[in-house]
Amino acid sequence: MTTALRRLRNYIDGEFRDAADGRTTEVVNPATGEPYATAPLSGAADVDAAMAAAEAAFPAWRDLIPAERQKVLLKIADRFEERAEELIAAESENCGKPIALVRSEEIPPMVDQIRFFAGAARMLEGRSAGEYMEGFTSIIRREPVGVCAQVAPWNYPMMMAVWKFAPALAAGNTVVLKPSDTTPASTVLIAEIIGGVLDELGHPRGVFNVVCGDRETGRLMVEHRIPAMASITGSVRAGMQVAESASKDLKRVHLELGGKAPVVVFEDTDIAKAVEDIATAGYFNAGQDCTAATRVLVQESIHDEFVAALAKTASETKTGAVDDEDVLYGPLNNANQLAQVKGFIERLPAHAKIEAGGEQVGEKGYFFAPTVVSGLKQDDEIIQHEVFGPVITVQSFADEKQAVEWANGVEYALASSVWTKDHARAMRMSRALDFGCVWINTHIPLVAEMPHGGFKKSGYGKDLSAYGFDDYTRIKHVMTSLDG
């Protein structure tokens, strides 16, 4: 007996719709490897409809006073709390994530982030009005940019959707959001929640729209004439394609791309505590995090002790079913990602040593064991390229100078961490590390008030914080004569 697949639909101008041409894709639960839903494979007609709805809704939404937009966002946050169990179930099915961890590690920060941006809506900043030329007064207006085309990734579908729509809506923009083709379920539920709030408070339905689809759908969104801004969280390749497409009509671009975070561990570190925290930050969400602590550089005097302790911790770390409260992470998101992680392991050079893991786990789904690889060199593929899986590499460095050289010696520049009891060394390293975030004696905590974003091939623009809010605004100078 075959179970009928659930039908997900686009959300355009306040209505749930199938793709105009009826095309769909199957959505697979990565914990089972089996399809559980279908989603629209949206084409040009669907993108046109969503963009037109967002464009029509923009003037009224833009012209609301900030306090009114704040009310909407605060009510959305309340609804997220009220319907948390539905969101958790959708995200767990989307990604195979452990239910307990989605409940504790994703819902609270998402709600907090929406509320933060609700407040940011009322904190528009600019230089004070004044007379900078005799006889004239200058003022600064901070305005929304317009319609925003946004593309969210599959590693944190719900949270990345929040990082995109919350600052955009708070600033007065309207949104067309595309989830990954492998994880649309929670985003469609978010559309239902936001649409309900907009209806309840009497705001235009086209303020928030969701279009499901693949890379071609995303390309159509970015190249569309209506959006003033394109925002994407994804791979470096995808970011480059978006930047190129957006350049054709000079759209604003906001890119949060890949990472290869160095974790620099000095010999004065508490090894047991560092290993525990680094393993958690490396294996959480199956290592599918651009900031994951998966590239460890350890001072040579403690290298062997550190590797032995990390391998032991890896062997004790569990991956498994979504309802098992003892597991740290679930499966990789899709079959292609599983193949990518396996490929990195299969292509390891002869001088590398697998200290723990290194293989797929279970007979169904896309689970991969917690893995530790040592003996690596700076130019090895697995050091230079993002694995995006539960694989922690370890290199041995001689001194601070070499640590900085190797830490910075990749094309990514999103996040990093330094582990030492020496305050002066920590300050020197935080200055020398060429990354958008430097954690000291910790790795991976984020707060709504502080910016998240990188340099180099990790992209540009900031998520979270007032800086993230500013990215969704434009600056206008208004000058008036005092002569009347």
Residues in the chain: 484
Question: Which burial class, exposed, middle or buried, applies to 214 when counting CB atoms under 10 A from its CB (0-12, 13-18, 19+)?
Answer: middle
Point out which residues pair with 151 in neighbouring strands.
178, 232
- What do you get for the CA distance between the two ends of the chain, in Å? 81
Return the exposure string of 49-68: e unless at least 16 CB atoms fall within 10 Å of the residue's CB, then b.
Answer: bbbbbbbbbbeebbebebee
Catalytic residue (choose from 95, 212, 290, 437): 290
DSSP 53-110: HHHHHHHHHHHS-HHHHHHHHHHHHHHHHHTHHHHHHHHHHHH---HHHHHHHTHHHH
- Whether 290 is catalytic is yes
Task: Respond yes or no: is residue 437 known to be catalytic.
Answer: no
Distance CA 211, CA 227 (A): 14
Report whether 227 contacts 147 (CB < 8 A). yes
Of 93, 256, 355, 386, the active-site residue reads 256
- Can you tell me the distance from the alpha carbon of 105 to that of 87, in angstroms, rounded to the nearest whole number? 13
Q: Is 22 left (phi over 0), alpha (psi -120 to 50) or beta?
A: left
342: left (phi over 0), alpha (psi -120 to 50) or beta: alpha
Which residue is listed with tokens 């084409």? Answer: 43
Q: In a 3-state reduction of DSSP, which class is residue 355?
A: strand
Q: How far apart are CA 172 and CA 60, in angstroms?
A: 9
Active site residues per annotation = 256, 290
